[in-house]
Amino acid sequence: MRESGILCPIFSISSKFGIGCFSKEAYEFVDFLYESGQGYWQILPISPTGFGDSPYQPLSAFGGNPYFVSPEQLIEDGLLTWDECNSFYFGQDEEKVDYGALYENRDKMLKIAYNRFLEKKGNESEDYLAFIKKEEYWLEDYCLYRALKNENNGASWDVWEKPLRKREKKAIDAAKDRLSEELGFYTFIQYTFTNQWNALHEYATSKNIKIIGDIPFYVSLDSADAWAHSDVFLMDKDLVPSVVAGCPPDAFSSQGQLWGNPIYDWSKLKKNGYDWWIKRMERSFELYDVVRIDHFHGFSEYYAVPYGDENAINGKAHKGPGIDFFNVLNEKLGDYITEDSIKIIAEDLGTVTKENQALLEESRIPGMKILQYAFTSWDSIYMPYKHDKNCVVYTGTHDNMTTRNWLDCINEGERNYLKRYMNSGNSDYGALVWDMIREAFRSVGYLCIIPIQDYLCKGFEARINTPGSADGNWQWRLKPNFLSHELATSIRGLAETYGRIPKGKED
């Protein structure tokens, strides 16, 4: 069970047309993982994004991001031509995603493919109709939400006209008729996304690579889920949230943090067997081999702030569903913890409480250990000698600086402590990055995940996300043909040395 993997978001893959997608370069990345002796690829959420482009504030907890649909595959399928794809502007910086250009042009390009799909009568195929039937729980609601959002100039559903906001049958039926073409377009995108993703996932499986996908604990208020399943959340009869999510004041923020997500009505969810959450997890396990749950702490305790407050000072902590949720999940979806594989990873960072630790222990779900957090305190819980086997070790995550950048930012005393601990005489920061990677591989933790930027010793320019900052996030991309055979050989050497080669890849 002792293995390793690489964190690289889909959007960071090198590919044509402005953003990483399910193109040949994604398949080449799987080949790179295989050559490197890796068993896991962590990809972050792949849901459709809204304002701010954060995959952790998706428009749907079930749908897929249309930006990840590969135009090259659509060309191969006879639905687009190279000239058509090249006629659209998707940005000029091959190392940075231009979301503005994608927003302006991606749908225009995909609509050409959709119209050709209709000409070929693809929407009458058994495969297409079977997809619609299989995903009926969420698909039509999501597509209608997208179409209505367009009709309302991008406004959030909670300011739409009352009949649509409250989903009155007459208004919904009229909208389906009025917007049938757009409904078909968004259905086509989800069908194409699913087919392309399944093909890539199957290829990864054939190479013995497991996919780790992230799901945010909360959903956005402006989402298909909050609109179509308002009963899942704490809202009044006019569908106004009574409370929203945040976190309490602490040493870093005297007013706390106000996130604004609607909060689950756990009492009602428990009565119906956590139906919405179970369906969400079921969909996630179809897409991924392993599910990393962001803000896992919310299952043991959540912080609710009165809706309309300008800060989180007046919020209150409440108990979450705890182990009961995972017992029901186990009953309905089968064992999520087995002796030879990890199925769920808990993002348990920043909220170390007795309740959270008890839930991790009782559920047997592994938490995360971040080495960047280990060496800035003399008694950190993240120190490698404190790791247990049931954990996932990272140098850093998508929310951290790259390790090369982190080495620039810590003070001399912290750097010296790090070097003493690792018995490293390296003064070159690139070599120190690899010492940190080696320390992660050395851990007793079952799984070790390293961001691809750390293997490349990238600095500030390659940071994925800066929490609390709205600009410059989710943009970094690999240069074309940047991953070498020599790098794969070096990574494999670490995996071999520290016993992390997956079964079947020993030779």
In the set 25, 135, 294, 348, the catalytic residue is 294
What ranges make up the beta strands (E) of 43-172?
none
Phi-psi region of 70 (alpha: psi -120 to 50; beta: other; left: phi over 0): beta
Is there a catalytic annotation at residue 104?
no
**486 catalytic per annotation:** no
- Beta strand pairing call for 3-7 and 40-42: parallel
Helix axes 139-151, 169-178, angle to 10 degrees: 80
28 backbone φψ class: left, alpha, beta (φ>0; ψ -120 to 50): alpha
225 is catalytic: no
Residue type, 268: K
Which among 347, 348, 435, 439 is annotated as catalytic? 347
Distance CA 4, CA 124 (A): 43
Strands (DSSP E) found in 428-477: 447-451
Tell me which residue has tokens 């290829």. 203
Q: Which residue among 28, 95, 399, 414 is the active-site one?
A: 399
**One-letter amino acid for residue 12 of the chain:** S
Q: Specify the pairing of strand 301-306 against strand 316-319.
A: antiparallel
The span from the CA of 251 to the CA of 395, in Å, is: 25
Cα–chain center distance at 290: 12
Q: 174: helix, coil or strand?
A: helix
Helix (H) or strand (E) holding 205: helix 180-206
Positions marked catalytic: 294, 347, 399
